[in-house]
Amino acid sequence: MVPMNAQPQHPSRHPLHRPILDWYAESARDLPWRRPEATPWAVMVSEFMLQQTPVVRVLPVFEAWMSTWPTPGALAAAPSGEAVRAWGRLGYPRRALRLHAAATAIVDRHDGEVPADREALLALPGVGDYTASAIASFAFGARHTVLDTNVRRVFARAVGGVEFPATSVTRAERERAEALLPDEDGEEEAATWAVAVMELGALVCTAANPRCEACPVSHLCAWNTAGRPAYDGPPRRGQAWAGTDRQVRGRLMAVLRDTEGSVTRARLDGVWPDDTQRNRALASLLEDGLVVETDEGRYSLPT
């Protein structure tokens, strides 16, 4: 793991670098996956859990997970259903199945060690472009562009002069982020840069209430110095929950997580009154492999 307070030896070349790196050295949260003793596996687990999920919800699940399965081999040896159960209420539980599958692949292909190489990471189940770069960068100090929601928002504002980035990552955005990466001879600084910008987006340059008065680059930020012009892009996606199939899936999963063994169909039918929506949610969970139907017509987590 890259030390949280790493002081780069190499001079930065973009005016944003120094203030953001200095701010990070002072203000970064002490998170278990950022500590010097954090293993690449800890970084990988945290990256799976942090997708679309706030740190405060991830922390207790992460701690329990790492004490139960401190290595990929330990997780791979457990039934996938136990991974789903331990995922608890983090949401998007397919991530638990994918993490379990990735642990199995790490045991099979890499002797149980998380690979450092970005291409080898990308070949693992559930590891996409962002996650591969994040693991290579945060666990191994490699120099990669890491474009998560927070980073995209900071760059859109500080460099692009607009309040929010495009709905999905554009080529121009990727090129801008690459141009902002610290020099090739400062690998460690590039890794710290990625996490520093991410932290600025999480703590200061937040989506709804950016605290520009507390921001280390307020005087350089294109959006702030232009008077924070109102957003006039396409409508932004909301995160509706109540009444959605996701909510029904969550209720069905909660019953199965809280049950050792299997449950009857009637038990599941009690969680949601709308038959059509409940049946659709259960069918999608079966299709995703998060729930299995037994020979007796009962339901359980995968075994």
Tell me which residues touch ligand SF4 (CB under 6 A).
154, 157-158, 204-205, 210-212, 215, 217-218, 221, 223-224
Nearest distance in Å: CB 174, ligand SF4: 19
Nearest distance in Å: CB 38, ligand SF4: 27
Cβ 191 vs Cβ 143: under 8 Å = yes
- Residue 204 vs 263, nearer CB to ligand SF4: 204
Nearest distance in Å: CB 198, ligand SF4: 13
Cα dihedral across residues 81, 86, 89, 90: positive or negative: negative
Long-range residue pairs from 88-92, CB within 8 A, at least 24 positions apart, any chain: 88/61, 88/257, 89/57, 89/250, 89/254, 90/49, 90/53, 90/57, 90/58, 90/61, 91/52, 91/53, 91/246, 91/250, 92/51, 92/52, 92/53
Question: What is the DSSP code (8-state) at residue 179?
Answer: H
Q: Is 47 a catalytic residue?
A: yes
- Residue 72 vs 160, nearer CB to ligand SF4: 160
Encoded tokens for 172? 């121009």
Please enumerate in sequence order all residues whose Cβ is within 8 A of that of 51, keeping only pairs 6 or more positions apart, or say none: 92, 95, 131
Nearest distance in Å: CB 213, ligand SF4: 8
Nearest distance in Å: CB 33, ligand SF4: 24
User: Nearest 10 degrees: CA dihedral of 157, 158, 161, 166?
Assistant: -40
- Residue 211 vs 236, nearer CB to ligand SF4: 211
- Residue 217 vs 282, nearer CB to ligand SF4: 217
Given its phi and psi angles, is residue 237 left (phi above 0), alpha (psi -120 to 50 degrees) or beta? Answer: beta
CA distance 281 to 302: 17
Select which of 26, 47, 173, 184 is catalytic.
47
- Residue 115 vs 210, nearer CB to ligand SF4: 210
Catalytic residues: 47
